[in-house]
Amino acid sequence: MILALIAFTYTAINFPTTMRDLLAGAKHAQDGLSSLGLPDSYMVWVDIFLQPNQIVLVGFAIAMRFVISIISAVFTGGSADAGEGETDSSSRSVRSERYRLWGNPRRS
């Protein structure tokens, strides 16, 4: 989230036209929701929580998550369990033994 805030601020300072375009697009999305004719009990929450700057910040947060995952995949070689290293059959059996009773109503 901190990287998203940094990217948001950097874009606003160095690329104000781009930030205004993003905010205008988010305002258009908010207006599109308003035109759906939802009851006021829902629209009050849209007005409170879906402000254009919040929508753009969430977009930056999603983009930063993608960037971090791509960088992580490059440095770990793309494997999901890169931190665990090689596992042998004994460690797999210990791991499966640990969760053996989950979902079993009768515990022995």
Give the torsion sign (CA, 6, 7, 8, 10): positive
Question: Is residue 103, in this structure, part of any structural domain at all?
Answer: no
Asked if residue 71 is part of any domain, the answer here is yes
**Assigned token pair, 13:** 């300072």
What pTM, to 2 d.p., does this model score? 0.62
pLDDT at 81 over 60: no
In this predicted structure, what is the pLDDT of residue 34? 81
Contact between residue 54 and residue 5 where contact means Cβ atoms under 8 Å apart: no
Residue 69 belongs to a domain? yes
Between 99 and 4, name the one with better pLDDT: 4
For 36-65, the pLDDT digits (tens) are 888 888 888 888 888 889 999 999 999 999
Coil, strand, or helix at residue 88?
coil
Q: Under a CB-based contact definition with an 8 Å cutoff, are residues 56 and 23 in contact?
A: yes
Domain that holds residue 12: 2-77
Number of domains in the chain: 1
Residue 56 maps to a domain: yes
Q: Residue 13 — pLDDT band, cuts 50, 70, 90?
A: very high
Domain membership of residue 41 (yes or no) is yes
**Rg (the chain; Cα; Å):** 23
